[in-house]
Structure 1
Amino acid sequence: MASASPTSVVPYKERPKPKVQINEIVPPVDFSFLQISTVEECETEEPRDVTHRKVATVKKKKAAEEDVPPKSQGCSLWLNNNSLKDVNNLMTIAISQFESPSNIGWIDISFNSLVHIDPVLTQFENLQILYLHGNDIVDLKEIIKLGTLPKLRKLTLHGNPLEEVKGYRLYVLSTLPRLQSLDFSRVTKGDCMSATVYKNFNNPNRSKKIRRDDD
């Protein structure tokens, strides 16, 4: 039986497509530095650098014909450096600006006037990066709300009053054990061990158990 010729055509096999990383290709929907005080203002404001979004020419033409701005195919939403006191209607803006709001993985609302971590943030199930630094959050227990975000890996909280609470870093890491970075600082194995000890030591059931042993 004759061997295959060196010039034989090899059947084409599609190469696996690399996974797109957050903000790798499509720029963020950027409402930063626009002096907005409510999320609703985003409905009338134009995001920064919208002309640089990589949207298909066909979609651009269709959107122009319909007088509707094209929605972003990205997964990053920035509202930093404004005067926001809450982000209650953030999902409404996400729906109006993104083709797939559920894919949003990076939200930056740093340097605003937030006093609470709004529950709306927990609706973004694919959120991996959340910047909250430079706000007015006082109560450490606000962090508990973020425990429902299964993919959250990077969080910033520095520049909030809660940063001054004793045991701040250990509390955050014990409450959100899946974090890989806190305040732009990598979470080390030592941090994880210290957070575990902190959590065990501050377990509200610990004192009750000791009392039972003494009885």
Structure 2
Amino acid sequence: MVFITEELVRKKAEHNEGLIGTLEELSLHQEDVEKIEHLNNWCKNLQILYLQANQISKIENLNKLKQLQYLNLAINNVEKVENLERCESLEKLDLTLNFIGDLESIKSLQANIHLKDLYLTGNPCCDYEGYRDYVIAQLPQLESLDIKKITRSERIKARQNLPEIEKRIKNYQEKHRRFREEQKVRHLLKNSSKLTDEEFWQAVAENSPETRMEISKRQKKTNRNVDIDCEQKIKKTARLFDKTGRPLNVNQAKLKFTFSDDDPEMFVLDVALYKYLDTALVDIDLQPIYVKLTVKGKVFQIVFPEEVLVEKAAALRSQTTGHLVLKLPRVNYKGLLTKPIKLKESKSLDKEKQPRNANEKTTEFLEVTGPDKDMDFSKIVENNEKVRKLGFEDNPEVPMLEYG
């Protein structure tokens, strides 16, 4: 049995920062709740309450919810409409797919003067002849019943025929009461709780609150078994990532390996696969920071010290040893210049400037390229003559300027 706890309500009140005292909307659907409790004391400001798809058999403990406008109790085990008189702001009530056979119990809603929409589809009372006219006559404040708008002519006709319809409804209710008593006895005699799951699901079950409860219990039991199986599988499965999503080193396959990072250009991973293992049974998942090998369903995973170039990586398999070798180029490898620039000596270099021995360094000049007229030495001589005429003479004590 599932109870409405403060922890459950606070969890469902995340949109209200976990505060339940000021909560205006609460959804507790599909929680297998069997009893309504505590909400009228904890959440007095509730305006909308969703309780559909539970195992609630009685409407109760809602009398203090003065601001409640919408109550959804669809797909539960309710058999009677009751205890909603003090919910004075109630405008919409959904009781779809319950087990309401006591149609006269809807008279308790006469005090809810603001009630406009009522849903009773899927209840046994909907099969009573004159059901719609009876509800319309007893609840004149309604504007729609089972999503169908109530017309003025329907309302007049229902009031006129109410005395005759009431007698008919009472007979239907008496028949339903006897049917429910027999149904409960059949359920007890059948004792479906002793049936195996296979026998239970193959049996033809009656539509009753007892059957719905039994179905819910069987489903919860099945779900628990599935959860246990999943937990066991998770425990057996290797953990590949931590809580933050970072990959971990894993050797579930228990393979011998060597990881070399001596080469500044690339990493080399050598994994000792079984010699006669078919390569088709090996799956390689290479990522920039790790590689995962799946060998016959078992995982080998290793994390790299730095990123590698996935698109330039190579995987080789030895035909003699069976080893798998992965060559993984590093992203941060810049490489070295393999072709140094070659400088050519200028032809105008004086012989006096030539090195006297092999150990003496010489001044090298870059080869100048361009049109031939730029290298016309006659112009250079003419320019020197002009310089002399201006009064500039060579001084042998001044060192010669070098260009380069």
The CA deviation at 1:151 is 0.9
Query: Taking structure 1 as reference, are residues 85 and 200 closer, same or farther at Cα in structure 2, changes over 3 Å only?
Result: closer
Cα distance in 2 for partners of 1:138, 1:151 equals 24
Q: Distance in 2 between matches of 1:77 and 1:127?
A: 11
2:101–2:123 Cα contact (<8 Å) kept: yes
How many residues are matched? 144
Judged with a 3 Å threshold, the aligned counterparts in structure 2 of structure 1 residues 144 and 73 are, in CA distance, closer, same or farther, namely closer
Name the one with the larger strand percent: 2
Question: Quick one: distance in 1 between partners of 2:166 and 2:60?
Answer: 32
| Equivalent residue for 1:89, pick from 49, 54, 61 | 61
Distance 2:143 2:101 in 1: 23
2:110 equivalent to 1:147? yes
- Per-residue displacement from partner, 1:150-182 (whole Å, max 9, x unpaired)? 111111111110111110000000000111010
Residues 34-183 of structure 1: matches in 2 within 5 Å? Answer: 34-40=31-37, 75-91=47-63, 101-118=65-82, 120-183=83-146
Structure 1 residues 81, 42: CA separation in 2 closer, same or farther (over 3 Å shift)?
farther
How far apart in 2 are the matches of 1:133 and 1:113? 10
Distance in 2, Cα, partners of 1:146 & 1:40? 21
Unmatched segments (≥5 aa) in structure 1: 1-25, 44-68, 96-100, 205-215
Matches within 5 A, 1:198-209: 198-199=161-162
**Structure with greater Cα Rg:** 2
Distance 2:106 2:76 in 1: 17
Return structure 1 stretches of 4+ with deviation > 6 angstroms. none
Helix, strand or coil: the match of 1:102? Answer: coil
Say whether the 8 Å CA contact 2:31–2:54 is kept in structure 1.
Answer: yes
TM-score normalized with structure 1 length: 0.60
Which has the higher relative contact order, 1 or 2, with Cα contacts under 8 A spaced 6 or more apart?
1
Secondary structure at the residue paired with 1:107?
strand
Q: 1:30 to 1:199 in 2, by over 3 A?
A: same
Partner Cα separation in structure 2 for residue 128 and residue 116 of structure 1: 19
The alignment partner of 1:36 has SS state of coil
Cα distance per residue 1:17-51 (max 9 Å; x no partner): xxxxxxxxx973111111111123879xxxxxxxx
Q: Deviations over 1:53-101 (max 9, x none)?
A: xxxxxxxxxxxxxxxx9x585511111111101122234xxx6xxxxx3
User: How far apart in 1 are the matches of 2:149 and 2:25?
Assistant: 24
Q: Note the C-alpha offset of 1:193.
A: 2.2
Rounded Cα–Cα distance in structure 2 between residues aligned with 1:126 and 1:151: 6
* Secondary structure of residue in 2 paired with 1:122: coil
Change (3 A) 1:115 1:203: closer
Structure 1's 117 and 202: CA in aligned 2 closer, same or farther, altered over 3 A?
closer
8 Å CA contact 1:29, 1:72 repeated in 2: no
The answer as to whether partners of 1:31 and 1:42 remain within 8 angstroms in 2 is no
State the match for 1:10 in structure 2: none
Of 155, 158, 167, 1:195 maps to 158
Q: Secondary structure at the match of 1:130?
A: strand
In structure 2, do the counterparts of structure 1 residues 149 and 192 end up closer, same or farther at CA, with 3 Å as the change threshold?
Answer: same
Rounded Cα–Cα distance in structure 1 between residues aligned with 2:166 and 2:44: 44
Contact 2:38-2:61 at 8 Å conserved across structures: no
Identity of aligned residues (%): 26
| Structure 1 residue 185 displacement after superposition | 0.9
C-alpha separation in 1, matches of 2:54 and 2:117: 21
Partner Cα distance (1:73, 1:151) in 2: 18
Backbone CA RMSD of aligned residues: 2.5
Alignment match, 1:54:
none
